[in-house]
Amino acid sequence: MKFAVLAFPGSNCEMDLYNAIKDIIKEDVELVSYKKNTLEGFDAVLIPGGFSYGDYLRSGAIARFSPIIPALQEFAKSGKPVLGICNGFQILTEAGLLPGSLQKNVSAKFICKTEPLVVNNDHSMFSSEYKEGQLISLPIAHGDGNYYCDQDTLRELVANDQIVFKYANNPNGSVDNIAGIINKQGNVLGMMPHPERAVEAVLGSDDGIGVFQSIVNHIKSRGVIYE
């Protein structure tokens, strides 16, 4: 199977993602420029963290109008997995592929540290490698990671089991301790923590492998029949 890793001006985690897939997950992976307008031939799309367009206006607000976005929206509609991490999550909310938005951290500080997370949904295509209630450690690194949505949206997220990861000790003020959510269809995940920075024990944690392995298992179990 083949992963696409999107790269926008100001992305800075695309090589971490690329290497996580190539060296640890051992699947095909290709960097795809924000200028391209097709995602044909890919089984899953990863949107990296960083500061696309310098976070000007709002995080993700300008990247959301890149040439690649219509292809991404089409790809998401087809039911194939799309994972946005950190700035990738922000781009997905701005593009309307996930509900809510990411605000400034309540502390107004950029937070860069490893955080304990609770797996809240272990049957999504991104989290089947974990067990519900399992505690994992992933690094966070963001200034705008405070997830916000209104109460109606939150009720819907809970009712549809869309909250995949929660913070054990909410570091940024997110509604309901939310660290990662999927869309209603379950094939688009946005998360602020960085699983690609936690794929080798020597780097402190390999708890992030499960996210990517879950995607691979999902694709392979389906025999890649989407169209």
Partner 1 sequence: MALVKVYVNYKKSILNPEAEAVHKALKRLGYDNIDDVKLGKYFELTVADGKSKAELDSEINEICDKLLANYNMENYHYEIVEAEAAQ
Task: Give the interface with partner 1 as residue ranges (CB under 8 A).
Answer: 57-58, 61, 65, 93-94, 100-101, 103-108, 148-150, 173
Shortest distance (Å) from residue 23 CB to partner 1: 37
227 noted as active-site residue: no
Shortest distance (Å) from residue 175 CB to partner 1: 11
**Catalytic annotation, pick one of 86, 115, 142, 149:** 86
142 noted as active-site residue: no
Instruction: Report strand pairing: 2-7 vs 111-119.
Output: unpaired
Of 198, 157, 196, 199, the residue nearest 178 (C-alpha): 157
Cβ–Cβ under 8 Å, residues 214 and 126: yes
Q: Which residue is it, tokens 């219509």? A: 70
Q: Of the two residues 22 and 58, which places its CB atom closer to partner 1 in the complex?
A: 58
Q: Of the two residues 39 and 91, which places its CB atom closer to partner 1 in the complex?
A: 91
Instruction: Report strand pairing: 188-191 vs 178-182.
Output: antiparallel
Burial classification of residue 169, based on how many CB atoms lie within 10 Å of its CB (0-12 exposed, 13-18 middle, 19 or more buried):
exposed
Q: Of the two residues 10 and 79, which places its CB atom closer to partner 1 in the complex?
A: 10
196 noted as active-site residue: yes
Shortest distance (Å) from residue 103 CB to partner 1: 6
Active site residues: 86, 194, 196
